Structure 1
Amino acid sequence: MTFQTFLSLLEPLRAEYPEAEFEVSEPAAPSGFWILSIDLPDGFSVEVEWKRPLGFGIAAGPNLAFGEGVHEVFANAPDAAARVAHLVATRTPTSADVPVSIAQLRKLRGRMQKEVAEALGISKSGLSQIETSAAMGTVQIDTLQKLIESLGGRLKISATFPDGMERRVSVGH
C-alpha cells in the first residue's frame, strides 16, 4: 500500500474541513519518510509520517513541537486514515505518555526487526519472541534493557504509589 492510497482515503476529510491546510512532503531519498501535515485554523495539527514497511506514524495536538516524533503507529492505510479523521473531528491530542509495546516502540524509532535483531546479535525470530514476551509481561529486565539500548535509548523503571510518591528504581547500572 502506498502513501497515495492513504491520501485518497483522506479526501472526505479535505472536503469536510476546507479551511484546513493539507501539506504533503515527499522524501528527499527513496528510503525516507513521506509526511502529511494538517493544520486547522484553531491551531490543532495532525502530522503523519509513512515509510514502507514501518507503517503510518501519527502525532496530533494543539502545540505539536517540531521533531517531537510520532505517538502512534498504524500498519495499514485505512486504520491510519480513520484515526486521523477521528483526531481532527474530536480535536483529540495524541500523547507520548501512553504506553506502547516494544514492537510499537521499535517502529516509532523507525527501525525494522531485522536491523534490531542484528544489533542484538540474535535472529529476527528471536527478536519476535522477545517482543511477544514483552507484550505478555514476561520479558527479563536485562533483555529489555539491551533491546532499548539497541534502539539508542536507556531503560528507566519507576514505582508509583497511591499516595503520589514516585521513585525511579535502580536496576543494573
Structure 2
Amino acid sequence: MGENDKGDWVEYKDLNELAHDLELTAIEIEDAHRDTDDYVRAWRLAQVRRDQQRGQQEVADAMGVSQPRVSAIEQGDLSRVSLSTLRAYVEALGGRLRIVVDFDDQRYRLI
C-alpha cells in the first residue's frame, strides 16, 4: 500500500505497479533489488554471529577492524565491501568464503 497525491491509501497488485507510479527506471529497480538482496544476505551473516552468541566487537577484534565496520557489513554494505574484509568476517565466524561464477552452462569456482 502507498499514498496517492491526495493522501489516500492506494493498494498495489504488485511491485511493478508501484514502480510505474513512482516513475522508477529499470536501473533504479535493479539497484533496489540488489540493495534488498544485500540487506537479506547481511542479515543472515549477522544471524550466524548472533547464533554463536558473539558480539560485533569480538568479531571486529578477530578481523582487525573497528566495530562500526562490522556493523556496516551487517547493515547490508556487502556490494561495497572488499573481498578481503568479507573473507575476514566469514573466517572470524568459523566459515569459509567461496566465490562461484556461472556462465550459462559453465560454472567456475574462483575461491
Partner deviation per Cα, 1:49-78 (whole Å, 9 max, x = no partner):
xxxxxxxxxxxxxxxxxxxxxxxxxxxxxx
1:64-143 correspondence to structure 2 within 5 Å: 100-101=41-42, 102-132=45-75, 133-134=77-78, 137-143=79-85
- Aligned counterparts of 1:161 and 1:128: Cα–Cα separation in 2: 33
| Partner AA of 1:117 in structure 2 | A
Quote the residue 1:151 is aligned against. 93
Gaps of 5+ in 2: 1-39
Tell me, what secondary structure is at the counterpart of 1:154?
coil
> Partner amino acid for 2:108?
R
- Give me the CA root mean square deviation: 2.2
Q: Which runs of 5+ in 1 are unaligned?
A: 1-98
Counterpart CA distance in 1 for 2:80 and 2:51 is: 22
SS at match of 1:159: strand
* More strand as a share of residues: 1
Instruction: Calculate the TM-score normalised by the size of structure 1.
Output: 0.34
Q: Return closer, same or farther for 1:166/1:107 CA change in 2, 3 Å cut-off.
A: farther
Q: TM-score with structure 2 length normalisation?
A: 0.50
- Cα 1:115–1:160, aligned 2, differ >3 Å: closer, same or farther? same
Question: What letter is aligned with 1:147?
Answer: Y
Aligned equivalents of 1:141, 1:123: Cα separation in 2? 17
Q: Distance between the aligned counterparts of 1:122 and 1:169, measured in 2?
A: 25
Give the residue type in structure 2 aligned to 1:145: R
Higher relative contact order (CA 8 A, sep 6+): 2
Partner residue, 1:20: none
**Percent of aligned positions that are identical:** 39
The 3 A distance-change label for structure 1 pair 166 and 109 is farther
Cα distance in 2 between the residues matched to 1:168 and 1:121? 27
1:1-47: CA deviation from partner (whole Å, max 9, x where unpaired): xxxxxxxxxxxxxxxxxxxxxxxxxxxxxxxxxxxxxxxxxxxxxxx
